């Protein structure tokens, strides 16, 4: 089995800590190691490092080498971000050269997994399903509450069992729902959170790209012919300048009729915003997460993230405070998904020094 770590995101919801030169996946937001390093370490018990690829932006090549220990041959550079479908398609070409029928896991660089052993067990079960019946397998996690920040997967018919894990045909994928719909999904009991972790044979995903995203497939075939030649980077840049930016969920998974889901419970969290730290970091007796020099009086259910400067809070409830020296974010927790709008405003105002 091969692994493809998608590390090209900007992590805008973690502004002002996450910036263009060093986005979320290259930061140690939830521990002593960076998120991309934690992702690689999580995989190596079952996938040797020489079979792990990272897909990154050109400006992050050196950070990736220094943080991951991957060789430069295992780092695939995208000239510009075009979302997950082109990223996965490009990585599949490199794996195909090594093993045309190889199985690949595609996963983000910046997610949190609480139970590594349960995760690896599920991964091996998914590999067996992908290898034996050729399905595109996604890992769905049992919902803990009616989240509006995650996509959902509805289970269809039971297809079988692999490694004591049941797997089901996917009935449908649903984008992030509103609260009332999320409540209905959780109450129904047949819906799972979409983890964004996929397992499939490279031949299967390339065939599905050919069927559902023919323009992307045509571009990938141009790149495939140039891999290993002195035209490789030129071909990738040329194709990327003209292809559509589209997610693998929307472009393939929502359209394909060979998708399966394995219900899982390994403590997954996409660490999508400052508020999500509630689920992955320890809290004090008042429900606060305090990082850095902090004094907290009459404050509860609040995240304070600083470093050298003392941050004192008084009477706060459900707030996020982040100080990075040159910028300070103060937000209600329930508005943290909108932090990316601040980044959009900074771009519009030409305030590039804060990006």
Collapsing DSSP to helix, strand or coil, 322 comes out as strand
Quote helix, strand, coil % in the chain, to nearest 5.
40, 25, 35
Alpha-carbon Rg for the chain in angstroms: 21
Whether 163 has a pLDDT exceeding 90, the answer reads no
Structural domains for the chain: 2-272 (3.90.550.10), 275-354 (no CATH)
Q: What is the pLDDT of residue 12?
A: 94
Average pLDDT over residues 72-82: 94
Average pLDDT over residues 201-207: 98
Q: What is the pLDDT of residue 40?
A: 96
Contacts of 129 (CB under 8 A, 6+ apart): 135, 137, 160, 162, 167, 199, 260, 262
Report the percent of the chain where pLDDT is more than 90.
94
Q: Where do runs of H (alpha helix) occur along the chain? A: 35-43, 61-68, 84-98, 116-133, 179-188, 202-212, 214-226, 232-240, 248, 339-348
For residue 81, give the DSSP letter.
-
HSE at residue 87, side-chain half, CA atoms within 13 A, is 29
Whether 238 has a pLDDT exceeding 90, the answer reads yes
What the block records as the tokens of 307 is 């470093």
HSE at residue 293, side-chain half, CA atoms within 13 A, is 6
pLDDT digits (tens, 9 = 90+) for 280-311: 999 999 999 999 999 999 999 999 999 889 99
Q: What is the pLDDT of residue 32?
A: 85
pLDDT digits (tens, 9 = 90+) for 133-149: 999 999 999 999 999 88
Q: What angle (nearest 5°) sits at the alpha carbon of residue 265, between those of residues 259 and 268?
A: 90
What is the rounded distance in angstroms from the CA atom of residue 217 to the CA atom of residue 154? Answer: 28
Whether 116 has a pLDDT exceeding 90, the answer reads yes
pLDDT digits (tens, 9 = 90+) for 9-19: 888 999 999 99
Whether 50 has a pLDDT exceeding 90, the answer reads yes
Q: What is the pLDDT of residue 307?
A: 87
The phi, psi pair for 106, rounded to 5°, reads -115, 125
pLDDT digits (tens, 9 = 90+) for 239-277: 999 999 999 999 999 999 999 999 999 999 999 999 999
What the block records as the tokens of 246 is 């589209």
What the block records as the tokens of 11 is 């992590």
**Mean model confidence pLDDT for the chain:** 95
Could you tell me the end-to-end alpha-carbon distance of the chain, in angstroms, rounded to an integer? Answer: 37
In DSSP terms, which residues pair with 329 in a beta bridge? Answer: 322
Residue 243 and residue 82 in contact, taking contact as beta carbons nearer than 8 Å: yes
The phi, psi pair for 101, rounded to 5°, reads -110, 20
Q: Is the pTM of this model over 0.85?
A: yes
What the block records as the tokens of 153 is 């997967």
What is the rounded distance in angstroms from the CA atom of residue 335 to the CA atom of residue 242? Answer: 35
What is the rounded distance in angstroms from the CA atom of residue 261 to the CA atom of residue 265? Answer: 13
Whether 346 has a pLDDT exceeding 90, the answer reads yes
Q: What is the pLDDT of residue 265?
A: 92
* C-alpha of 252 from chain center: 17
Q: What is the pLDDT of residue 274?
A: 96
pLDDT digits (tens, 9 = 90+) for 165-194: 999 999 999 999 999 999 999 999 999 999
């Amino acid at each position: 089995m091969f692994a493809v770590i998608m590390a090209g995101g900007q992590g805008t919801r973690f502004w002002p800590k996450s910036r263009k030169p060093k986005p979320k996946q290259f930061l140690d937001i939830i521990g002593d190691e960076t998120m991309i390093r934690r992702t690689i370490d999580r995989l190596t018990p079952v996938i040797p490092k020489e079979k792990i690829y990272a897909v990154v932006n050109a400006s992050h090549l050196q950070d990736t080498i220094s943080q991951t220990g991957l060789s430069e041959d295992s780092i695939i550079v995208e000239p510009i971000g075009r979302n997950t479908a082109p990223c996965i398609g490009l990585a599949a070409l490199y794996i195909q050269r090594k093993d045309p029928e190889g199985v690949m896991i595609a996963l983000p660089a910046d997610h949190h997994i609480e139970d590594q052993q349960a995760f690896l067990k599920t991964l091996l079960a998914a590999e067996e399903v992908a290898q034996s019946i050729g399905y595109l397998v996604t890992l769905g996690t049992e919902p803990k509450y009616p989240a509006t920040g995650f996509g959902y997967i509805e289970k269809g018919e039971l297809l079988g069992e692999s490694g004591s894990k049941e797997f089901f045909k996917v009935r449908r994928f649903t984008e992030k729902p509103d609260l009332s719909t999320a409540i209905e999904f959780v109450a129904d009991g047949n819906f799972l959170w979409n983890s964004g972790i996929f397992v499939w044979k490279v031949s299967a995903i390339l065939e599905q790209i050919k069927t559902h995203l023919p323009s992307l497939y045509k571009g990938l075939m141009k790149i495939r012919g140039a891999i290993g030649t002195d035209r490789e980077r030129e071909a990738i840049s040329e194709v990327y300048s003209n292809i559509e930016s589209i997610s693998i969920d929307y472009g393939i998974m929502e359209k394909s009729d060979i998708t399966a889901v394995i219900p899982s419970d390994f403590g997954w969290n996409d660490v999508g915003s400052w508020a999500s730290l509630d689920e992955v970091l320890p809290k004090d007796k008042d429900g606060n997460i305090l990082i850095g020099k902090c004094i907290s009086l009459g404050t509860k259910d609040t995240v304070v993230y600083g470093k050298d400067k003392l941050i004192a809070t008084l009477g706060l409830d459900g707030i996020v405070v982040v100080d990075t020296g040159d910028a300070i974010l103060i937000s209600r927790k329930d508005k943290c998904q909108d932090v990316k709008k601040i980044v959009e405003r900074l771009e519009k105002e030409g305030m590039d020094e804060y990006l």
